[in-house]
Structure 1
Amino acid sequence: MKANTSVTAFTRLEFETRIERARAAMTRAGLDAIVLTSAANVEYLSGFETQFAWVTPSRPWYFIVPRTGEPAAIIPDIGYSNWRSTSWCGNVMTWPSPRPADEGISLITDHLNGFSRRFGKVGFEIGPESRLGMPVSDLFRARAALALEIEDCTMLMAGLRAIKSPAEVGRIRHICNIAGRAFAEVPATVRAGDSEKDIYRRFAASLLVKGADEVPYVAIASGQGGYGSIIMPPTNRTLRKGDVLILDTGSKCAGYFCDFDRNFSFGKPSADVARVHAALWHATEAGIDAARPGRTAADVFRAQADVLISHGFEVGNVGRFGHGLGKLLTEHPSNAPGDETILAPGMVLTIEPSAMFTGGIMAHEEDVVVTENVAEVLTPRSSPEIEIVAC
């Protein structure tokens, strides 16, 4: 399997283990097969690597894993050589695509109808936080032609991907280190008079130069004494003394994301800014400490919220204080009230408290992996004091 040269390639055993875990989960869920169409899930089980498949809606790509028997790729002709050079799965069927009248649906239904059945059900990605990688009308056509009931397999796959292998954790640690080095250079490479777009482009370029394969997400916001959003794209706003700047990146290397942010004060921070930044840092510490086996995602939220409340801050309106991380920027579970997902070794989480105050909103974020004991922080840990850009 090909991989970024700076990280270790996944072994065949890694993929065999994933397939067997998927089959065990399918038996528990009462599914005879799963049909995967999303980039994260196809890549996770097949090892397939491509950019082309996921940036155009013209051609759907399918990976089918039966509860018993050989997995199969059903893909457009144009992707055959790409598949064979990157995936361990040699059972490949193709069709000449684009062909809207039949984008592989006849191949899929014939293949699925030929399976031996125990449960009479097949899983598609149609549940929470899913994006179906095929036209919905084709799903309806498949349902009409199949001798199987269609069920959701989204949460089945989310549960599998939530527990990372050591090799997966190594990839996330690697991209966290790359982003950490890019963040460390910000105070020396930005200045009053730069626009948000200037800073955004410089930061994204730094991430790529340092080894990121992709920079799909960089949020940036700024304002006097705080900012109003943590999910904004760059604007032409010019930074000046007294501003607070946030940069938040979801960068990728070898198929895995980091997701963390850093705040910067242009000149000496106000007392309010210093106070909220320190409170967020301590809330993050509490979240890191709560990320232990046997605790829940809701426990991680409450640990952070309790610290913020004790410092006199509102907990904000984002709905959660972090989430799973891996093949996607945001994965299962959510560190939120009501998410009683039990944490287990191998889970990678973001710890992400935010607080409302007179200057607007501020947020802080680190990435951790749950171990047998305490959580390991994968990101270069920030200081309790906000970093200062000289003005």
Structure 2
Amino acid sequence: MRRAGRGGPPEQHRRPRGVPARQRDRRRLRGQRGRLRRGILRSRPARRGQGGEGHGVNGAPRLAALRGRLAEEKVDAFLVTDPVNVAYVTGFDGVFDSEPASACLVTPGAATVYTDFRYAEALKAQASSSGWSVVVVAGPLNVRVCEDVAAAGLGVLGVESSVPYGRFKYLSEHLEGRVLAADEWVERVRSVKTADELERIAAAAELADEAMAHGIALVAPGRTEREVAIEIEVHLLRAGSEGVPFPPIVAAGPNAARPHARPSDRRMGRGEPVIIDLGARVGGYCSDLTRTVVAGTADGRVRELYAATLAAQEAGLAAVRAGVAAKDADAVAREVLGARGLAEAFGHGLGHGVGLEVHELPSMGARSREVLAAGMVVTVEPGVYLPAWGGVRIEDLVAVEEGGCRLLSRAPKELAET
């Protein structure tokens, strides 16, 4: 999905001195369009962290963080089964995201990753350097975990709240009820990024900026949403994105009133707002970026709603910093739209965390319980949606810092008319 300027932005939002920001952005967009016309945007070499199984992440600090949580919660062991969380804690991502081919058991004195023969050698080569021992399981994983927990004389086993009911039931029955839900243990560690993770996300954000320029250049009256979405995805793959975190959203006219609309064969009408929402993945980490453009020339209503959305986004960006409750940042942006009579048109939260997945902690909505911390990466994406007319959304990706936030997205935010 999803600069600060008018409302006194924190220093992190300001660009370097020299060429004015908008002039520089226009030059960059014109350059992208020129290269597109000449057909010289070619596939580029893989970026840092791309290619091969895994991305060379040291999982030892993550393992230490989980052991600290064991001590805090007075739990003897923790079972990790979510595929993304397994990849995170071990540093190994050579398994398809949707495939439960591995699981991890963490105790104060041992760390075991269970897998089958397909991934055994790759795991041994990568995860063992982070303190994990690899066990190749030929039969049901549940049986082996129960055997190891019993053999070690462990008391209480924490499991992720996302564990399938069948597995939870089996573990509870065979471990005599000594199983409890360890909700969001890994996800909360994941929410604060290291310098290496921030670098990967910034690289993914750069790819997203380039893909957005490509997509905007393709918007025109008479072109279909699906045509533009396909071209954006192809561009991302050729530019080096490791797949896409989500299928690009291109929604024109009334379809733009649906925040997560699927691109259709509907042709863009002249003067209609077009929401483009896209992301890239570099070194295993995602980006997320949204812009709203106009197919043709914008009328007064489009300009008014765009200005309101941009003002709300600028206020939200200025509110994001370490120590701020996520719901308070949401409230600041929501107040801007409410003052313009658009409170009901903004039906989702201000943003969400981004990392290994495009939607992760923290959530930034009215009911959020999280407090923003330095190192978090979040989107700031207010939107206005009017059924039967359309919508406007502007989304940037930012890194939370002590005194404010640092923009990772650099795509121009002037209302583009194509």
Q: Same fold (TM over 0.5)?
A: yes
What corresponds to 1:94 in structure 2?
136
Counterpart residue identity of residue 134, structure 2: V
What corresponds to 2:358 in structure 1?
329
Q: 1:61 aligns with which of 94, 102, 107?
A: 102
TM-fit CA distance, 1:349: 0.9
- Whether contact under 8 Å (1:220, 1:230) holds in the other structure is no
Q: 1:105 aligns with which of 135, 142, 162?
A: 142
TM-fit CA distance, 1:163: 0.9
Task: Name the SS for the 1:214 alignment partner.
Answer: coil
Change (3 A) 1:86 1:318: farther
Task: Name the SS for the 1:375 alignment partner.
Answer: strand
Structure 2 Cα separation of the partners of residues 106 and 122 of structure 1: 14
- Whether contact under 8 Å (2:257, 2:385) holds in the other structure is no
Change (3 A) 1:138 1:181: same
Q: CA RMSD in A?
A: 2.2
Q: 1:114 aligns with which of 144, 151, 168?
A: 151
Equivalences for 1:293-332 in 2 at 5 Å?
293-316=322-345, 318-332=347-361
- Cα deviations by residue, 1:110-134 (Å, 9 ceiling, x for unpaired): 11223354xx3222111xxx4x3xx
TM-fit CA distance, 1:209: 1.3
Point out the more displaced range, 371-380 or 352-361: 352-361
Structure 2 Cα separation of the partners of residues 318 and 34 of structure 1: 37
- Whether contact under 8 Å (1:113, 1:148) holds in the other structure is no
- Whether contact under 8 Å (1:49, 1:86) holds in the other structure is no
What corresponds to 1:219 in structure 2?
249
What corresponds to 1:71 in structure 2?
111
Q: 1:189 aligns with which of 218, 238, 243?
A: 218
Task: Name the SS for the 1:280 alignment partner.
Answer: helix
Point out the more displaced range, 142-151 or 192-201: 142-151
What corresponds to 1:99 in structure 2?
none
Counterpart residue identity of residue 158, structure 1: E
Structure 2 Cα separation of the partners of residues 91 and 148 of structure 1: 27
The answer to whether the aligner puts 1:124 opposite 2:166 as a matched pair is no
TM-fit CA distance, 1:33: 1.6
Equivalences for 1:1-391 in 2 at 5 Å?
6-7=47-48, 14-52=58-96, 54-56=97-99, 60-66=101-107, 68-88=108-128, 91-96=133-138, 102-115=139-152, 117=154, 120-126=155-161, 130=162, 132=163, 135-146=164-175, 149-217=178-246, 218-223=248-253, 227-316=256-345, 318-357=347-386, 359-383=389-413, 385-389=414-418
- Whether contact under 8 Å (1:49, 1:83) holds in the other structure is no
Structure 2 Cα separation of the partners of residues 137 and 187 of structure 1: 47
- Whether contact under 8 Å (1:122, 1:148) holds in the other structure is no
Task: Name the SS for the 2:256 alignment partner.
Answer: coil
- Whether contact under 8 Å (2:56, 2:91) holds in the other structure is no
Structure 1 Cα separation of the partners of residues 257 and 140 of structure 2: 45
Counterpart residue identity of residue 376, structure 2: M
Structure 1 Cα separation of the partners of residues 62 and 371 of structure 2: 20
TM-fit CA distance, 1:334: 1.5
- Whether contact under 8 Å (1:214, 1:251) holds in the other structure is yes
Point out the more displaced range, 333-342 or 289-298: 333-342
Q: What is the TM-score when the length of structure 2 is the normalising length?
A: 0.82
- Whether contact under 8 Å (1:74, 1:104) holds in the other structure is yes
TM-fit CA distance, 1:11: 6.3
- Cα deviations by residue, 1:24-73 (Å, 9 ceiling, x for unpaired): 12211222221111122111110112243x344xx54211121x122111
The count of residues paired between Structure 1 and Structure 2 equals 366
Structure 1: segments with no counterpart, 5+ residues: 97-101
TM-fit CA distance, 1:315: 4.5
Point out the more displaced range, 156-165 or 82-91: 82-91
Counterpart residue identity of residue 324, structure 2: R
Point out the more displaced range, 303-312 or 139-148: 139-148
- Whether contact under 8 Å (2:56, 2:126) holds in the other structure is no
Structure 1 Cα separation of the partners of residues 119 and 103 of structure 2: 12
Change (3 A) 1:11 1:204: closer
Point out the more displaced range, 293-302 or 311-320: 311-320
Point out the more displaced range, 187-196 or 68-77: 187-196
Structure 2 Cα separation of the partners of residues 171 and 306 of structure 1: 33
Point out the more displaced range, 153-162 or 187-196: 187-196
Structure 2: segments with no counterpart, 5+ residues: 1-44
Structure with the larger RCO, 1 or 2 (CA within 8 Å, 6+ apart): 2
Structure 2 Cα separation of the partners of residues 381 and 189 of structure 1: 16
Task: Name the SS for the 1:346 alignment partner.
Answer: coil
Task: Name the SS for the 1:306 alignment partner.
Answer: helix
- Whether contact under 8 Å (1:305, 1:315) holds in the other structure is no
Structure 1 Cα separation of the partners of residues 171 and 118 of structure 2: 23
Q: What's the % identity of the aligned pairs?
A: 24
Q: What is the TM-score when the length of structure 1 is the normalising length?
A: 0.87
- Whether contact under 8 Å (1:355, 1:362) holds in the other structure is yes
TM-fit CA distance, 1:381: 4.6
- Cα deviations by residue, 1:251-303 (Å, 9 ceiling, x for unpaired): 32211111121111011111111111121112111111111121110111011
